[in-house]
Amino acid sequence: MAQLLFIIIIVILVADFGLERCLAYLNIKQSGKELPSVLRDIYDPEKYLRQQNYFRTNSRFGMLTSSFSFIVVLIMFAFGGFSWVDGLVQQYIQSPVWTPIIFFGVLYFANDIISIPFEWYDTFVIEQKFGFNKVTPKLFVLDKLKGYGMTLVLGGGILFVIIWIYTLTPTYFWLLAWAVITAFSLFMTMFYSQIIVPLFNKQTPLGEGELRTEIEKFAAKTGFKLDNIFVIDGSKRSTKANAYFSGLGSKKRIVLYDTLMDKMTVQEIVAVLAHEVGHYKHKHTLINFLITMPYTLLLFFAFGFILQSDAFAQALGGTVASFHLNALAFSILYSPISLVLDIAMNVLSRKFEYQADAFAARYGYAPELQSGLKKLTATSLGNLMPHPLYVFFHYSHPTLYQRITKLS
């Protein structure tokens, strides 16, 4: 049984890497194709060359990083690396709760540290070369340290509670753990903007001026409160622009990047905001949350069942069932199912984007949204011709071409 599980794990890892490489290859081939006429005004020939160069640079870099991590993970699984780390941790700590936490902590930090050179190169070489980067080495280090602190407190805390529940009651673990995770994610959905975002960015209420006046006019028509609109200092890290909707109920907010302000006209920003209000009006955050609930229940049910099996630990070179080795084996064996669910969530998310676009169009913002989306893509040197299969697997938003066509 353990032997079979081991083989399945290796097959899944190789198949997943193969699939991702195929999709990336198709995407690169597609990017060189001739543009449809509605997209030709986005880049002038010189800028289009620059975009192609940026896209290819990123694709090559993605190939390098994913191959590197694939090899590391494969070696760890194939040569019992995880049971070796387990043995190392057990030399110092033998506790049903703390051994798994330290085990995952060691893996998290080891993984993070070996990926630092890649992140550094991406930020200070690639993004820098194409004029996007605003991160200083000091900010890079500071962000890393804050990220570690957050993982220690939040990740460590939630892991502690989950494992502790398992030691109390393996039988009802799945139900209780699910309840804890659901409550935690509800809390994070509500308070993410107030607790997490301020650690990294400054959010300020929309200031007086033409933009505020125009937004006020629009907000009055739709009943969206103006004090839920914030401007974030995205320019601290990148020149790329964005906007998003987050939160639930009274904690909802629309966040506009300050980088939008100098790239778009007032009407285009209102159009982007109208799109975000569309997400709110159609209750997309709530629907996403409600869909995730039964899915996580199923996940924990399967997980609770597998936690007691010795074979899962043995597949990674262990001897008897242990929370962390079983969890690790489970995470790989479950990944084909989560791949299918991720695709389903992306299909739904793309549907939501069309709904939000249609909402903006209903208020007469279709032309401004079209030109606004074009500018957003142009300023981030976005890829105009992704491969349909790549879109199907990975895109949470429809392509620019699809959105513009639908808005016409």
Active site residues: 276, 357
Q: Write the single-letter amino acid at 406.
A: K
Nearer to Zn ion, 353 or 368 (CB): 353
Sheet holding 253-257, edge to edge: 203-205, 229-232, 253-257, 243-246
Nearer to Zn ion, 76 or 360 (CB): 360
Nearer to Zn ion, 327 or 356 (CB): 356
Secondary structure (DSSP) of 206-233: PPSSHHHHHHHHHHHHHT--GGGEEEE-
CB of 275 to Zn ion, least distance (A): 6
Reduced to 3 states (helix: H, G, I; strand: E, B; else coil), residue 133 is strand
CB of 356 to Zn ion, least distance (A): 5
Nearer to Zn ion, 120 or 244 (CB): 244
DSSP H helices in 151-283: 156-168, 173-195, 197-200, 210-222, 258-261, 266-281
Site string for Zn ion, 294-333 (x = CB under 5 A): ----------------------------------------
Q: What values do phi and psi take at 230, rounded to 5?
A: -125, 155
CB of 313 to Zn ion, least distance (A): 43
Identify residues 60-99 at the interface with Zn ion (CB under 5 A): none
What is the residue whose two structure tokens read 């060691």?
106
CB of 231 to Zn ion, least distance (A): 18
Nearer to Zn ion, 59 or 355 (CB): 355
Q: How far is CA 395 from CA 27, 372, 390, 398, in A?
A: 12, 19, 7, 7
Count of residues binding Zn ion (CB under 5 A)?
2
Site string for Zn ion, 336-365 (x = CB under 5 A): -----------------x--x---------
Distance of CA 276 to the CA centre of its chain: 18
Q: Write the single-letter amino acid at 300.
A: F
Q: Which residues contact 339 (CB under 8 A, 6 or more apart)?
A: 16
Residues that bind Zn ion (CB under 5 A): 353, 356
